[in-house]
Amino acid sequence: MPDSKGGRREEKQQRDPHGQQRGDRNTGGPRPDFKEMRERAFERTREALRQALVKRDWLIVQAVRAIDLLDRQSNLVFEHLRDWYSLHFPEIIPMVQDQESYAKLVAGLGARSRLTADQVRGIIGDKGSVEKIAEAANKSAGADFKPEDIAQMQEWSRLFLFLRDERRRLAAYLDGVMKEEAPNINAVIGPTIGARLIETAGSLKKLSEFPSSTIQVLGAEKALFAHLHKGTKPPKHGVIFGYPKLRGAPMKSRGKIARKLSAKLSIAAKVDYFHGEFMGDKLAAKLEKDIEPLLKSG
């Protein structure tokens, strides 16, 4: 009932004889079920998240980051292995520069007394100076350790080799995903650098939105920031510097080659994102034709 001054009305909920809620007095319509609305909103959000996670370019981003993690960890493991085994056989360090060959020798033979020429050749082939390694093992100034001490060094070397195997397996997986999700980028610049571009941009969608000038310096943000704030020379290239023909080009031609390469990548990224017709072979051929005179100019 309204008060004598026309104040706020108190509305009482009314139900029909069957126990159902009647409509609102003011609107005449049914009252909204806020619990049901909340559940529907949650379900729409969950579905949107599921659809977003289906995008496989995010797998490319995660795979590249996993490879970077494996590289960092394997390098740390090898540094520790080299320092550890050098207590036993320090002379081997300059003789075996390849990390995997070094780790295979430690894992397969262990004690330096077992590093004969035939044994070393059987594990790493003719890499390094096999005869010199065997001779150095006989005259080494390193300390002698118990078998259980050498066994720990061998386990550590096996860990390094496991990380390298995982890196190769993951790189093969990444190669396959790139061929499926970004075939044009893959054809122009290869799976490794192409995946690195997508990872640096954040997604294939973001990469497709960038102009070629941004793609050219993508990954060189620190140098670009220094140019804008300190007046240093602007960067000519970022991630794309890994492209072999750009890296091996004359210095004076690198800027022009980087511009032509980034222009082709900009087209390739847009075609890949919108699932257009494959034209990577044409883009790669056109790029080769455009940069050929620049490679000869040096």
pLDDT in tens, 45-60: 776 655 554 577 888 9
- How far, in Å, CA of 268 to CA of 187, rounded? 9
- How far, in Å, CA of 247 to CA of 241, rounded? 6
Confidence of residue 149 (pLDDT cuts 50, 70, 90): very high
Tell whether 116 and 197 lie within a shared domain: no
In a domain, 47, yes or no: no
Number of domains composing the chain: 2
Residue 260 belongs to domain spanning: 182-296
pTM of the model: 0.74
| CA neighbor of 110 nearest in space, from 100, 102, 118 | 102
In a domain, 44, yes or no: no
- Is the pLDDT confidence value at 3 over 60? no
Tell whether 110 and 157 lie within a shared domain: yes
**Mean pLDDT in the chain?**
86
Confidence of residue 183 (pLDDT cuts 50, 70, 90): very high
> What is the average per-residue pLDDT within 247-253?
90
In a domain, 62, yes or no: yes
In a domain, 35, yes or no: no
Q: Are 269 and 204 in contact (CB under 8 A)?
A: yes
Tell whether 138 and 88 lie within a shared domain: yes
Tell whether 285 and 203 lie within a shared domain: yes
In a domain, 20, yes or no: no
- Is the pLDDT confidence value at 24 over 80? no
Task: Quote the percentage of the chain above a pLDDT of 90.
Answer: 63
Tell whether 131 and 195 lie within a shared domain: no
